[in-house]
Amino acid sequence: MIKVGKVLLEATEELERDKGIPREAILRSLEDAMVTAYKKHVKGTHVANITGRVNEVKGEIGVFRTKEVVEDDVMNEHTEILWEEAKKIDPKCEVGDEVEVDVTPADFGRIAAQSAKQVITQRIREAERKLILDEFTERKGTLATGIIRRVEPRNVIVNIGRTDAVLPQKEQIPGEYFRVNDRIRVYVLDVKETTKLPQVVVSQTHPRIVQELFELEVPEIEDGIVEIKSISREAGYRTKLAVASTDPNVDPVGACIGPRGSRIQTIVNELKNEKIDIIRYTDDPAEYITNALSPARIISVQVYEDAAQRKEALVVVPNDQLSLAIGKEGQNVRLAHRLTGWRIDIKSLSQYEQMQDEYDRYQEEHYQELEEGQESTAEEYNEQQEEAVEQVETVEITEVVETAPEKPKKATKAKKEVVEEAEVAEVAEAAEAAPEKPKKVTKAKKEVAEETEVVEAVPEKPKKTSKKKE
């Protein structure tokens, strides 16, 4: 074994104090480093069953190989040892037992020493990374006080204990000036695991900062008597806080403000003079919205909530209170919307009256159009009914005619007429063949034509059955 003295052990204790790394973890990394250095030094294949050992009492460190005790012949010197030699190491050993033999080289060499150094550094870094990750994972979502280490063009690096956290530009309060070594209070937003140390992201704009500060300054909130129902914040400008009390004898707004405003003033100073509105929470939406729009005076609040869970409210304020209710660049109504969860539409009294007049005018015009439309619709309906009746009567008459049975006599008469027409045609042909009697032929043609016109002019109505038979 190699004599290292108490210097190495003192170094492990110092690492434990500074980095918080357990001393046992550092010693285990030393043992692993010795094994790695031995394998680099030997450069062979017989490197199995190698372990490192640290003797804290003697201040020694070394490498040991496990070998099996044999009685007579050693077949493999890397895995076996004679019983006589083994008894020098462990007098109580027997044949078949295993003993650890010290194989620590007198000089590891530069490469082996460098490998050991790399292993120690890597193991210590891994242990430190795991400790930081575990610690800040538990602290995620809480406040932390840090010291500014450096200011970058976009980010600010803040030391919050074991590690340096990053304050991104989007999480900074607008217009705030940062100086190195200044102490600031931040909110642990997220912890990201990287190949090196975990990256902790902090914020100055998160609404939970206000809640944490109130929990620190107001004992009633810490005890659960006063509850914070909702928070809406625009960092650096204004914050609205809705509070309620579980004890009817405790005023939640007064408890948050404190005697002569001492509690709220401490929080305002911590937030660099950011304005804070304490709102009394209530289950009535109209009253809640009225409180949320303070300090503006409200005339009336009309709430509309449909099946689609869309929450809308129409708020009417005096003419001189419209700008105050809306706020600078809509800040007041925007914070009230975030606080209550309702979509708020603000109208002045004159705007509301004008809107009501337009609505009444529209209703009147629509009513007149509706009456006229009903009259015209009634007339059209009557005309359609009359046309429908006429069409039904026509259809019925047509069906009666089509379904009427054929009269046999009418058919007989028609056949008789056809026969007579054929006879007349034959007579006409004979007349053509006999030129000496033209007048008779002409008369026959005239009769045929007259008979044809008579047949065509016969109506479809059924006639009485003729008594004559063919």
Q: What domains does the chain contain, in order, with CATH numbers?
A: 2-129 (3.30.1480.10), 139-203 (2.40.50.140), 282-392 (3.30.300.20)
Do 232 and 282 contact (CB within 8 A), yes or no?
no
Confidence (pLDDT) at 410: 43
Q: Give dist(CA 258, CA 276) in Å, integer.
A: 14
- Residue 160 token pair: 């919050």
Which portions of the chain are predicted below pLDDT 70? 1-5, 43-47, 106, 108-113, 306-309, 368-382, 385, 389, 391-470
Task: Provide φ and ψ at 187, rounded to 5°.
Answer: -110, 125
Burial class (CB in 10 A: 0-12, 13-18, 19+), 69: buried
Do 146 and 165 contact (CB within 8 A), yes or no?
yes
Confidence (pLDDT) at 19: 74
Confidence (pLDDT) at 423: 56
Is the pTM of the predicted complex or chain greater than 0.85? no
Closest CA to 154 of 139, 167, 169: 169
Q: Give dist(CA 278, CA 355) in Å, integer.
A: 33
Backbone CA torsion sign across 111, 113, 116, 117? negative
Query: Residue 50's beta-bridge partner residues?
Result: 65
- Residue 149 token pair: 């280490």
Determine which helix (DSSP H) or strand (DSSP E) holds 232, and give its type and residue range: strand 226-234
Closest CA to 167 of 150, 267, 181: 150
Confidence (pLDDT) at 40: 74
Do 161 and 178 contact (CB within 8 A), yes or no?
no
Query: Residue 316's beta-bridge partner residues?
Result: 300, 347
Confidence (pLDDT) at 263: 92
Q: Give dist(CA 314, CA 334) in Å, integer.
A: 14
* Peptide linkage before 295 cis (omega within 30 of 0): yes
Burial class (CB in 10 A: 0-12, 13-18, 19+), 38: buried
Counts of helices then strands in the chain (DSSP H, E): 14, 16
